[in-house]
Chains A and B, each alone.
Chain A
Amino acid sequence: MQVLYFAWVRERIGLPREVIDTKAATVAELVAELRAKDARYDAAFGDVSALRVALDQDLAEFDAPLAGVREVAFFPPMTGG
């Protein structure tokens, strides 16, 4: 699946998007996989309460299932307006 990162999550991980081959059933499981991958991910995902997630461009929760999802995006709380 496509995994996208925005704002300081993108900066900490060092890339804007990547394709991840995963069997994670939920967002939280995907986060755990990513954190185990590399220290940069561990730093970015250290406090998930500071993060938001969107599944196929719709805001979701970290316990949401990933079945059928093609695009996951992680980012900090939004600051529009």
Chain B
Amino acid sequence: MQVRVQDAAFDAGAELNAFSAEVKGAGAIVSFTGVVRDVAAGLKHMQIEHYPGMTEQAIVKIAGEAVARWSLSDVLVIHRYGDLSPGAPIMMVATAAPHRADAFAAADFLMDYLKSRAPFWKKEVTSKGADWVEAKTADEDALRRWD
């Protein structure tokens, strides 16, 4: 399991290649990259705040649950904080498994949990001002799929 919380940018393609090269015996690798999307008002940047210490711990716990639940060869989670420009990668997950169903399900689970249970907060800074992104009830509903 590899978990990284960083302000530095990352190259999702290079990260996926490195992850794939290190995994032994996996028949399936799934990856997801979350990117800063533009908004109608014109996004200057996205500020991502986090809770140093708890963040890493929470992600390791979530990744551990995925490992316990599905047959996985390895898991990678990278999540950035700080000021990010539109189009910049925010985070990525990659899962490797003997079979694709486990890799897809685990990546989906990780995304749902990282969204609502890892201590990150997004603020959109536009030409009209700055607003915290509100959590959606759909995000909580998504978690219940895994009960």
Contact = CB atoms under 8 A, between A and B. Distances in A.
Interface of A: 4, 6-8, 54, 57-59, 73, 75-81
10 contacts: A57-B51, A59-B58, A79-B115, A79-B121, A79-B132, A79-B134, A80-B120, A80-B122, A81-B91, A81-B114
A8 B49 CA distance: 11
Interface in B53-104: 53-54, 57-58, 79, 90-91
A7 to B, nearest CB: 4
A57 B118 CA distance: 11
**Which range contains the number of B residues in contact with the other chain?**
20 to 34
Contacts, number: 69
Given A6-B119, A7-B132, A75-B121, A80 B79 contact: yes
Given A4-B51, A7-B132, A8-B132, A76 B57 contact: no
